[in-house]
């Protein structure tokens, strides 16, 4: 990748490591030269790195790449260092030995990303093309891009960035250090915590899919259920492009601290997603379902409404969950489609196939 820092902003490896959040990571430096003479300007893969880059090695399959890299600094795990400690490289000036090289790389990449964001936003504030109510409370160092609409009684915390063409509805509360990319839409009264990232096309707080069957009169119709609730989103949440989260009908839809949601995810009304759960792309979660803490939901999984899923559940991609999950663990399952009547007949049989097979193969077994 291109160098991130120009030569005037190149940073010594010592100063970089002092600036990076290394909480929970053990690390130390082994170098061929004095550490304060090693300067870096970017971060890259082993094969793409230039002589001013820092790179990382955390998978043995890329061992050969470390002999070819141009990087001057390589982050590496202790268990791999013994394989490369005697490497003869004209380029690598030092190794950063860590107990979690990939996490340390992530933290360093975050530092570079924040540096870029600060440079890009320097001197920018509120674009003159945006329409902003006079009844708003905007914190310090807030950036509002072109053609945004900020309605009345909105609160935006310090150091937050609202991308172009975004709509912030009336009564919305946004915490500090949030980053909204262009065309984010927050309906009225949504409440957003601190340190959140919303990508383009995110829609928070639209009405849930709620209708009552109406047989009054001569014709059948659907009667819309008004949604008076809202959406509450905690801290350190990231939501991918074109994801939608519906508001609650009476109570709130809740996305808790540390949740990570991929692109094109649909979360229905009154759903609760608890702390540190990760949801991959194209997942659908129907209304009033509760997802536990630290769950992982694979891409295109479908979760029915009014269910409870406990903490530490891993649902494989494409799995249809139609009942409560009461025990932590990994779950997977894909049925071929059929008529609903046939499915009702076949599903109980399929779920007992292992037992039926054992009965056929070992008819005299008592177990």
Catalytic-role residue among 269, 314, 340, 352: 269
On whether the CB atoms of residues 230 and 193 are closer than 8 A, the answer is no
Other Cβ atoms less than 10 A from the Cβ of 10: the count is 15
CA 56 to chain CA centroid, Å, is: 22
Q: In the beta sheet, which residues pair with residue 56?
A: 75
Task: From 220, 228, 296, 208, select the one nearest 259 (Cα to Cα).
Answer: 296
CA dist., res. 197 & res. 193, Å (int): 10
The full DSSP string for 219-257 is S-EEEEPP----EEE-SS-EE-TT-EEEPPSSS-EEE-T
Among 267, 262, 264, residue whose Cα is nearest residue 247: 267
> What angle, rounded to 10 degrees, do the helices at 340-350 and 353-361 form?
50
Question: What is the DSSP-derived secondary structure letter of residue 336?
Answer: P
- Comparing CA positions, the residue from 70, 37, 43 lying closest to residue 56 is 43
215 is catalytic: no
Question: What gap in Å lies between CA 312 and CA 314, rounded to an integer?
Answer: 7
Where in the sequence numbering do the catalytic residues fall? 269
């Amino acid at each position: 990748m291109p160098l991130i820092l120009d030569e005037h902003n190149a940073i010594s490896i010592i100063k970089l490591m002092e600036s990076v959040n290394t909480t929970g990571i053990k690390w130390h430096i082994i170098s061929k030269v004095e550490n304060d003479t090693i300067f870096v300007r970017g971060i890259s893969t082993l094969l793409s790195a230039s002589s001013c880059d820092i790179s990382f090695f955390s998978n043995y399959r890329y061992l050969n790449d470390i002999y070819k890299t141009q990087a001057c600094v390589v982050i590496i795990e202790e268990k791999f260092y013994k394989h490369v400690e005697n490497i003869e490289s004209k380029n690598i000036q030092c190794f950063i030995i860590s107990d979690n090289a990939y996490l340390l790389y992530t933290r360093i990449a975050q530092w570079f990303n924040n540096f870029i964001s600060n440079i890009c936003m320097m001197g920018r504030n509120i674009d003159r093309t945006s329409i902003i109510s006079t009844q708003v409370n905007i914190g310090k160092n807030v950036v509002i891009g072109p053609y945004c609409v900020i309605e009345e009684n909105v609160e935006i915390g310090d150091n937050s960035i609202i991308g172009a063409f975004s709509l912030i509805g009336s009564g919305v509360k946004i915490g500090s250090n949030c980053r909204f990319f262009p065309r984010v839409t927050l309906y009225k009264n949504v409440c957003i915590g601190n340190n959140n990232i919303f990508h383009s096309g995110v829609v928070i707080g639209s009405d849930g899919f709620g209708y009552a069957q109406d047989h009054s009169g001569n014709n059948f119709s659907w009667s819309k259920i008004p949604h008076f609730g809202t959406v509450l989103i905690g801290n350190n949440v990231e939501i991918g492009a074109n994801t939608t989260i519906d508001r609650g009908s009476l109570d709130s839809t809740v996305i808790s601290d540390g949740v990570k949601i991929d692109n094109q995810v649909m979360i229905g009304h009154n759903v609760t997603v608890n702390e540190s759960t990760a949801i991959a792309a194209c997942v659908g979660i129907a209304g009033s379902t509760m997802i536990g803490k630290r769950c992982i939901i694979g891409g295109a999984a479908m979760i029915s409404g009014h269910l409870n899923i406990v903490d530490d559940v891993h649902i494989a991609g494409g799995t249809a969950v139609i009942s409560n999950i009461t025990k932590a663990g990994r779950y997977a399952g894909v049925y071929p489609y059929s008529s609903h009547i046939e499915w009702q007949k076949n599903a109980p049989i399929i779920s007992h196939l292992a037992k039926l097979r054992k009965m056929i193969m070992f008819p005299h077994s008592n177990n």
